[in-house]
Structure 1
């Protein structure tokens, strides 16, 4: 199974890539929405996207909407540690935009893997 992880925090990208690869997933990473859509256009076999909500250049909510309109079969997990609003508020917006699941940062390995297995 191929997963695309989108987060502007390089430490978060490395952490998620390590967990996912260790558990047998094929992982692509992007630090912004523009790179993510380039990767999606070249990798039609991506089945899950994990995206942060608060990012410069392109917000996660916009990314979720675009993915759902162009690739409705892709499952999306939105992650957020909050910002101007609480992380719960951002994650509710993510559900409204089309996310299939959400995780509040910080989350652990088991929580992430359980979320992916229940998609």
Structure 2
């Protein structure tokens, strides 16, 4: 007797596929943004990229995202402002902040990001494994 894969016994219909999680990556460094997107797409996530804070907020407002990854130091709108605005609109939004730092180094910026509501904070350069562990952790933690 053959079994039908992915079939719940009570309905006889195929089980629904798990929804692909959507991630918005905001970084004014286009190469960094592209690199992060490639890593995330190869891991099975759907990724939308934005190259500045305003564009990132517009894309967030026009779509549904499970996670936002934002750089903190950008010319038009810094990541702390982005985090603040996202939190006002959706207090449950999951955010990962990242920074290479500035004059004071990344540590101070990342501390502020955590205080503003970022679930994880990463210092650039970011290793592939480090990114994927942080993303998985944030997406699976309520």
Instruction: Give TM class, smaller chain.
Output: over 0.9
Alignment of 1:1-119 (within 5 A): 1-43=21-63, 45-119=64-138
Q: Secondary structure at the match of 1:46?
A: coil
Task: Note the C-alpha offset of 1:74.
Answer: 1.4
Stretches of structure 2 lacking an aligned partner (at least 5 in a row): 1-20
Q: Alignment RMSD, CA only?
A: 0.7
Larger Rg: 2
Task: Note the C-alpha offset of 1:87.
Answer: 0.3
Aligned residues: 118
Stretches of structure 1 lacking an aligned partner (at least 5 in a row): none
Runs (4+) off by over 3 Å: none
Structure with bigger strand share is 1
User: Higher relative contact order at CA 8 Å, sep ≥6: structure 1 or structure 2?
Assistant: 1
Q: So what's the TM-score if we normalise by structure 2?
A: 0.81
Q: So what's the TM-score if we normalise by structure 1?
A: 0.96
Task: Note the C-alpha offset of 1:98.
Answer: 1.1
Q: Secondary structure at the match of 1:63?
A: helix
